Amino acid sequence: MGRKTQVAIIAVVVLLLGGAVAAYAYDGSQKDTIANGVTVAGVDLSGMTREQATQALSNQVLAPQRKPVKVKFKKETFTLPAKELKIRANVNAAIDRAFEESREGSLPTRVIREVTGGEVNAAIPVNVAYSEKSVNRFVKEVADGIVKEPVDASVSAGPSSLTVVKAENGYKLRDNLLSEQLHGLLDSGRGTRTLVAKVNVTKPSVTTSEVAEQYPTYLTVDRSTFQVKLWKNLELVKTYTVAVGAAGYETPSGLYSIQSKQVDPVWTVPNSDWAGDQAGQVIPGGVPENPLKARWLGVNGSVGFHGTSEDYSLGSAASHGCIRMSVDDVIDLYDRVEVGTPVYIG
């Protein structure tokens, strides 16, 4: 081997050694920065130092988690304070992993990648931990706060009127869905911190169109006008003139029902001064001494509808609490109503 050849070989070796040293030095200068293409929890940390990466993740991952979570439904807002969630995130561990991914591969591979602007393409998650009990408690709070039971259609009675109260739908929180939404939000740390509650609609048992079927017969008593109105399927079909309780013996007001029906009712005379010599006696039905003529429709204890021979008293406050009717009218009414028929006295 000639001297010139030896010199050439030595020169090549020197150049190679110099390149290796330079490559080693360049690679060492990059060990404190994260490689291009490395993301943590969706945050691009390319070229960042540990301090910069920590700051970036704190701003974009931890800071949103320190805000309260809110759930809205109509005009109500339910709030879950961040402190109750006790949120913890392994940011430091994720950054360690980012540096590990940045140093993957051989020295030449890293140098070529860094010099040419190549990327690692590593997506690293940040594991977020929080209080499951707080989430579950919050979901229950929202569920209890917005639940509404359905309202059946019904009838509101007055002394001389019937008004249909419309049915209303209820609703119940879709609690499983809300729980999924909360976990998704807290796991990712991204997205709006305000959720809108979704509900399932619950239907009433009796709809507005069905309410008349629930009240095939209804009676209303207007003590001020001495009238009884008979309603069929919420439609007025007949009006009767009656007598009601005199002062001191007023016919009681309120919502009652027909509790009993009798033909030629027996009269158990109350032990009251007004009963005179008959007080406490039991007077058979159908006899002249019995003022309960023809029919009896019991409403409230000793109060009820009955026929009377004193037609002149109709249209006035004259009884001892009962509702007097003409004999023809009480027979007519008797045949039109059943036990259980609602009776509103006003």
Per-residue confidence (pLDDT) for residue 111, from 0 to 100: 63
Q: What is the pLDDT of residues 181-215, one digit of tens each?
A: 999 998 877 778 999 999 999 999 999 989 999 99
- Phi and psi torsions of 21, nearest 5°: -60, -45
CA pair distance 153, 189, nearest whole angstrom: 46
**Cβ–Cβ contacts within 10 Å for residue 321, how many?**
18
204 and 228 part of one domain? no
Residue that finishes a domain, picked among 211, 244, 260: 211
Q: Please report, for residues 99, 107, 108, 122, the alpha-carbon distance to residue 26 in angstroms, rounded to integers and kept in the order given.
A: 16, 10, 11, 22
Q: Which domain holds residue 141?
A: 133-211
Let me know whether 202 and 314 are in one domain: no
Residue 78 lies in a domain: no
Structure tokens at 31: 């060990």
- The 8-class DSSP code of residue 151 comes to B
- State the pLDDT at residue 263: 97
C-alpha span between 222 and 319 (Å, rounded): 15
Report the amino acid identity of residue 248.
Answer: G
- Taking all residues of the chain, what is their mean pLDDT, rounded to a whole number? 87
Q: Per the domain annotation, does 73 fall within a domain?
A: no
Is 74 part of a structural domain of the chain? no
User: What confidence score (pLDDT) does residue 233 get?
Assistant: 94
Rounded mean pLDDT of 296-312? 95
d(CA 249, CA 325): 17
Instruction: Tell me if 77 is assigned to some domain.
Output: no
- Report the domain count for the chain: 3
- Pair 31, 148 in one domain: no
Question: Is 82 inside a domain boundary?
Answer: no
Task: Give residue-wise pLDDT tens across range 78-121.
Answer: 999 999 999 887 888 889 988 888 878 667 766 676 667 677 88
- Are 185 and 234 in the same domain? no
Answer yes or no: is 75 within a domain.
no
- Encode pLDDT of 55-81 as tens digits: 888 887 777 788 899 999 999 999 999
Q: Is residue 23 part of a domain?
A: yes
In a domain, 14, yes or no: yes
38 and 95 share one domain: yes
Q: Which of 149, 177, 211 is the last residue of a domain?
A: 211
Residues 115 and 14 in one domain: yes
Positive or negative torsion for Cα 232, 235, 241, 242: positive
Q: How confident is the model at residue 17 (pLDDT cuts 50, 70, 90)?
A: very low
Q: If you search the block for the tokens 């740390």, which residue do you land on? A: 189
The mean pLDDT of 300-325, rounded to a whole number, is 95
